[in-house]
Structure 1
Amino acid sequence: MIEMIESEILDQSPGISWDDIAGLEFAKASVMEIVVWPMLRPDIFTGLRGPPKGLLLFGPPGTGKTMIGKTIATESGATFFSISASSLMSKWIGEGEKMVRALFAVARVNAPSVIFIDEIDSLLSQRSEGDFEASRRVKTEFLVQMDGVACSQEERILLVGATNRPQELDEAARRRMVKRLYIPLPDSAARQQLVTHLMRNQSHDLCEMDLQEIANLTKGYSGADVKALCTEAAFNQSVRPINIQDFKNALRQVRASVSDKDISNYIEWNQQYGSFPVEDEESSAA
């Protein structure tokens, strides 16, 4: 079981830096201040100043939550564990709980460690009478392990959860994720930076004005949407440099995947439970 964790879940060096993430300046600064610096200097950040043991990254899909988790591990020199609900569930009764205990045991041995849980809502969703017994037991064990990490100042383990559905997260899990950071859609400057980054190794005729126009035309697009748009624009029939018209044609095929209602729900949840009650960057700037 430990061998499986080390082969499938453990990543010694993700190698992702802040420069690989377009925009999200507030989120980057917040993560550095509340997580990375305390992990780098545990001798200074002690007691009440110690780093949080749980960080929840929530917001629309495709906004860079996974990359932030990897960057935390890179910047703090920590071992990175990436897990999902499917990697912990087993058809055999009791195997899921053993896997959870083994995960935290390996994380302790390899500390400092960052345990990143993608789609944490699917693993720690609100408990109900309709839950399968195996699922309920895994949730309970995970919460117990989270409590163990939270109660120990010596254990240098950070739990980072990412979710597109923060409303579905179990209340007990939400309470243990002490810091909750909203990761919004990229603003215009971030979208332009992302397009520039994606086009850096492609032959194109895009000038600065074209890049600004693309950024303006993609308001409401997530980072994943912008990447899909660039991929679509690159699929022109003739082998020639990519131009602004290719992007305009691609815009007819690739639309924004996040609705205004979804954004409103995220902002509302952030105002109620978020650690930093800020609005979506672009909507607040408008």
Structure 2
Amino acid sequence: MVLKEIPADNITRPLGRNEVIGLLFRLTIFGAVTYFTIKWMVDAIDPTRKQKVEAQKQAEKLMKQIGVHNVKLSEYEMSIAAHLVDPLSMQITWSDIAGLDDVITELKDSVILPIQKRHLFERSKLLQPPKGVLLYGPPGCGKTLIAKATAKEAGFRFINLQPSTLTDKWYGESQKLAAAVFSLAIKLQPSIIFIDEIDSFLRNRSSSDHEATAMMKAQFMSLWDGLDTDYKCQVIIMGATNRPQDLDSAILRRMPTRFHINQPNIKQRESILRLILENENIGASVDLREIAKHTDGFSGSDLKEMCRDAALFCVRELVHAEESSEEDYIRPIQQTDLQKATEKMKKSKSAGAPSMLLDAALD
């Protein structure tokens, strides 16, 4: 076996310029291929990837609609921004809410006025708007309507936060999403973070809570406290619930302004009926006061559904009439229609009562 001697100058010879460029090029190609391969694998095993892409597109569209420009958002803030509601697109105003004049007046004075007339209250720490507002009471009595009307009338950016938005399968992602809620709200201020059924999200903490859930709640409350230290921050968290007793005591402390939205009394029910039927074709003999007397225990949504049933009676009569093909005319809603609809609603509510009592016993 003959060994070929390698010249000494070939061992110590440095790489030429072209060789260095070629080596760097190959390393760059290898790094890029590795990066995109790993990224593709991560995206492939992430079941929420499609939803995240759609959320980002929705967020960009909403940001343009509400007139927010030159605001850079992180990936997590984009996920939250997909739940923005443009105040101008909201159809709910104070005039669409009947029977809650006292609540509306107090909301205007304690929440909206300190922000709209900020220059009058900027020197006082006591007269700053509350950082937390709780609307509680039976279901169907207008809690969500009040929150939307508040955002509409005040011109606030409205973040409709759902608990599922902050849920992620990856460890630590929920805390980042919780932080993004507040950072986004601050960038878009004045803004309202609205949490419907807040008891399902921030209920009483216990040792049986999952670690990730406990950490997310702690992060949320810690960031919420941070709002209190900044008197220039125009972010309000509004929550609605029909089970205030299930809320964590620490959450109740952070929501000092509370409004009890109870079931409407007879006068309020009459006002609600008058508002619902305002633009409908009703007979001249309809006595809404009399209908209000027989709807004790009805919520606002119950009254709306009752009126809808009464209107459908008129439509059904037209459909089943023998001469409907000759004359298509829906007659006005009469007192008897409202009375029949009232009895139907009462039967429906009484049928649901046993299951409601069972749920209460289980609780």
Matched with 2:342 is 251
Matched with 2:194 is 116
CA apart distance, 1:67: 1.4
User: Residue 34 in 1 paired to residue 113 in 2?
Assistant: no
CA apart distance, 1:158: 0.8
Matched with 2:77 is 2
**Higher RCO, 1 vs 2 (CA within 8 Å, ≥6 residues apart):** 1
What is the rounded CA distance, in whole Å, between the counterparts of 2:169 and 2:281 in structure 1?
A: 50
More helix by share: 2
| Amino acid paired to 1:59 | G
CA apart distance, 1:69: 1.0
In structure 2, which of residues 80, 97, 101 is the aligned counterpart of residue 21 of structure 1? 97
User: Residue 130 in 1 paired to residue 203 in 2?
Assistant: no
Unaligned segments of structure 1, at least 5 residues: 263-286
In structure 2, which of residues 60, 67, 86 is the aligned counterpart of residue 11 of structure 1? 86
What is the rounded CA distance, in whole Å, between the counterparts of 1:126 and 1:230 in structure 2?
A: 39
What is the rounded CA distance, in whole Å, between the counterparts of 2:138 and 2:233 in structure 1?
A: 31
What is the rounded CA distance, in whole Å, between the counterparts of 1:124 and 1:15 in structure 2?
A: 29
What is the rounded CA distance, in whole Å, between the counterparts of 1:235 and 1:159 in structure 2?
A: 39
CA apart distance, 1:140: 1.0
| Alpha carbons 1:80, 1:114 under 8 Å: kept | yes
- TM-score relative to the length of structure 2: 0.67
User: Residue 235 in 1 paired to residue 330 in 2?
Assistant: no
| Amino acid paired to 2:103 | A
| Amino acid paired to 2:118 | P
- TM-score relative to the length of structure 1: 0.84
Matched with 1:220 is 297
Query: Which shifted more, 9-18 or 185-194?
Result: 9-18
| Alpha carbons 1:11, 1:82 under 8 Å: kept | no
| Alpha carbons 1:79, 1:114 under 8 Å: kept | yes
What is the rounded CA distance, in whole Å, between the counterparts of 1:171 and 1:25 in structure 2?
A: 29
Secondary structure, aligned partner of 1:52 = coil
CA apart distance, 1:206: 5.1
Unaligned segments of structure 2, at least 5 residues: 1-75, 319-330, 357-363
Query: Which shifted more, 159-168 or 68-77?
Result: 68-77
With over 3 angstroms needed to count, the CA separation of the structure-2 counterparts of 1:58 and 1:206, relative to structure 1, is farther
| Alpha carbons 2:84, 2:157 under 8 Å: kept | no
Identity in percent: 39
| Alpha carbons 1:97, 1:137 under 8 Å: kept | yes
| Amino acid paired to 2:101 | E
Matched with 2:231 is 153
What is the rounded CA distance, in whole Å, between the counterparts of 2:237 and 2:101 in structure 1?
A: 22
- 1:155-234 equivalences under 5 Å are 155-205=233-283, 207=285, 210-234=287-311
| Amino acid paired to 2:184 | V
CA apart distance, 1:221: 0.9
What is the rounded CA distance, in whole Å, between the counterparts of 2:151 and 2:109 in structure 1?
A: 14
| Alpha carbons 2:87, 2:155 under 8 Å: kept | no
Larger Rg: 2
Query: Which shifted more, 210-219 or 190-199?
Result: 190-199
- 1:38-77 equivalences under 5 Å are 38-45=114-121, 46-77=124-155
Cα deviation digits, residues 81-113 of structure 1 (max 9, x gap)? 111222222233222222211111111111111
User: Residue 88 in 1 paired to residue 151 in 2?
Assistant: no
| Amino acid paired to 1:99 | L
What is the rounded CA distance, in whole Å, between the counterparts of 1:228 and 1:182 in structure 2?
A: 23
| Alpha carbons 1:11, 1:81 under 8 Å: kept | no
What is the rounded CA distance, in whole Å, between the counterparts of 2:335 and 2:170 in structure 1?
A: 55
| Alpha carbons 2:306, 2:341 under 8 Å: kept | yes
With over 3 angstroms needed to count, the CA separation of the structure-2 counterparts of 1:196 and 1:207, relative to structure 1, is farther
What is the rounded CA distance, in whole Å, between the counterparts of 2:248 and 2:157 in structure 1?
A: 27
Query: Which shifted more, 157-166 or 72-81?
Result: 72-81
| Alpha carbons 1:66, 1:118 under 8 Å: kept | yes
What is the rounded CA distance, in whole Å, between the counterparts of 1:158 and 1:206 in structure 2?
A: 45
